Amino acid sequence: MTSDIERAHKAWRRAERVKQLSDRVIGIGRWGLGIDGVVAWIPVAGTAYSLGAAALLLSEAVQAGASKATIARMAAYLGLDSVASGVPIVGWALDTLFTGHAFAARALQRDIEKRFGRPAGAVAEAPLQGRAVAGR
């Protein structure tokens, strides 16, 4: 039988894989390009990939017991990402630039970390350059 913490940490790791594959296979500083950004330019394939990755992330969130607020935030990010991928040219460009899967994955990971801590061996994400730091 799997404990809540094991299930949540498994979801954290799966979210990390989706985040990397969808939006950061190639990283250039703060920017990245992943499968989602590439297939966005292929009609139907981009929408199919985006919806599939979204369904996987939302399923992981539900199984990990994420809060309703986290799931709603994830759904908003993923909805925008998926809708954009269905609009030719402008939508595809937006989908390439908007890392909705990464935003949703980070929201799930933060939810899990608040409740159970970061999984053993997980690497802390580097802070974005130029981001304001509390207390400074």
Instruction: Say if 121 falls within a structural domain.
Output: no
For residue 73, give both structure tokens: 């935030």
* Res 44 pLDDT > 50: yes
Instruction: Give the mean model confidence (pLDDT) for residues 61-65.
Output: 97
Read off the pTM. Answer: 0.85
What pLDDT is stored for residue 66 in this prediction?
97
The span from the CA of 46 to the CA of 54, in Å, is 12
Domain extent for 82: 4-116
Instruction: Say if 90 falls within a structural domain.
Output: yes
Q: C-alpha dihedral over 104, 77, 41, 38, to 10 degrees?
A: -20
* Res 5 pLDDT > 60: yes
Instruction: Say if 59 falls within a structural domain.
Output: yes
Instruction: Say if 136 falls within a structural domain.
Output: no
Instruction: Give the mean model confidence (pLDDT) for residues 45-71.
Output: 96
Mean pLDDT of the chain: 87
The span from the CA of 21 to the CA of 38, in Å, is 11
What pLDDT is stored for residue 129 in this prediction?
39
Q: In angstroms, how far is CA 124 from the centroid of its own chain?
A: 15
Residues of the chain with pLDDT > 90, as a percent, come to 59
* Res 11 pLDDT > 90: yes
Instruction: Give the mean model confidence (pLDDT) for residues 36-65.
Output: 93
Instruction: Give the mean model confidence (pLDDT) for residues 19-45.
Output: 88
| pLDDT tens readout for residues 81-133 | 888 888 889 988 888 888 999 999 999 999 999 999 999 888 756 444 333 33
Instruction: Say if 12 falls within a structural domain.
Output: yes
Instruction: Say if 133 falls within a structural domain.
Output: no
Instruction: Say if 68 falls within a structural domain.
Output: yes
What pLDDT is stored for residue 67 in this prediction?
98
Q: What's the total number of domains in the chain?
A: 1
Instruction: Say if 132 falls within a structural domain.
Output: no
